[in-house]
Amino acid sequence: TNAVDEKERQLAELREDYDRVLEEVADLHRKLDSLSVPSGAVSADEHSRIVAALEEQNTSLKRKLMDVTTKSQDLIQDLEESEDERD
């Protein structure tokens, strides 16, 4: 039962991480979408660097999201197995 409680706590933490990463991804997409600046305000090279940095951040966040999802699925499976053993 202590193990099940611990796994449920870990799952709750992972859900919070998942929600936080989703919000970061949404924020990043808003930044990418609002990247239209007046011509001449930012050089083409600077604009390209900004876009590349945001795309790299997006890739990193997607990896985090996949990692959190995988951990969450593993914990859910462990919880289900623990519940089956109790029954």
- Over residues 29-84, the pLDDT tens digits come to 888 777 765 556 677 788 788 888 888 988 998 898 899 889 888 888 888 888 77
Query: Which comes out higher in pLDDT, residue 37 or 25?
Result: 25
Q: What pLDDT sits at residue 39? A: 59
Q: What pLDDT sits at residue 36? A: 64
Q: How many domains are contained in the chain? A: 1
Q: What pLDDT sits at residue 25? A: 86
Q: How many CB atoms lie within 10 A of CB 31?
A: 14
Angle made by CA atoms 32, 34, 53, in degrees to the nearest 5: 30
Q: What pLDDT sits at residue 40? A: 64
Q: Please give the residue range of the domain that contains residue 40.
A: 2-86
Sign for the CA dihedral angle at 63, 69, 75, 78 comes to negative
CA nearest to 25, candidates 51, 60, 52, 68: 60
Q: Cβ(82)–Cβ(6) under 8 Å?
A: no
- The predicted model gives 13-38 an average pLDDT of 82
